[in-house]
Every structure is written in C-alpha cells, then in structure tokens.
Amino acid sequence: PIWVGQSSWGPTGFAIFGDPGSAERAAEGARARWRLQSNLRFVVCRGRNRGAVVETFAGRDVVAAGYETVAKKTA
C-alpha cells in the first residue's frame, strides 16, 4: 500500500493503493488471513477525488467533507 490509517469515525482501517489490481490482491490476502473473523470485512472502493465543500448554515461555516448534504440549509 501507499498509505494506511484508521478513521476517526470508529473501528475502520484503510489503505491507499496505486492501482485497483494491487488493492484487490491485498483485500483477498486479508480475507484469507482473517477468514475465521466473521466480524471483519474488507472492501475495495474508489476514492471520491473531490475536495471538501464548505457551506454556511445559520451564519456558521460547516465543512461537509465527502457528504452531499450535512443538514438542511437554515439561512
């Protein structure tokens, strides 16, 4: 992998690969290595490749990183 980490949202880890084939091979290896751990899931997905969106809600700036809608606009 090019980069690995853990999200601040909870027990989610991630790895960033340079190409889909490398990511798929790593996921298959992880599935085989931890095949007896039914609570683990390994998913390969593509990055969103867009920056964060900053909108103003009730006079306050809110960063909506990766979400289409965070809250209904009140202003």
Q: What is the mean pLDDT of the chain?
A: 76
DSSP state of 72: -
Which residue's structure tokens are 């085989």? 32
pLDDT tens, position by position, 38-74: 889 999 988 877 777 667 666 665 555 544 444 444 4
Contact 52, 66 (CB under 8 A): yes
Q: What is the pTM of this model?
A: 0.58
Alpha-carbon span 21 to 35, nearest angstrom: 21
Question: Is residue 18 within 8 Å of residue 26, measured between CB atoms?
Answer: no
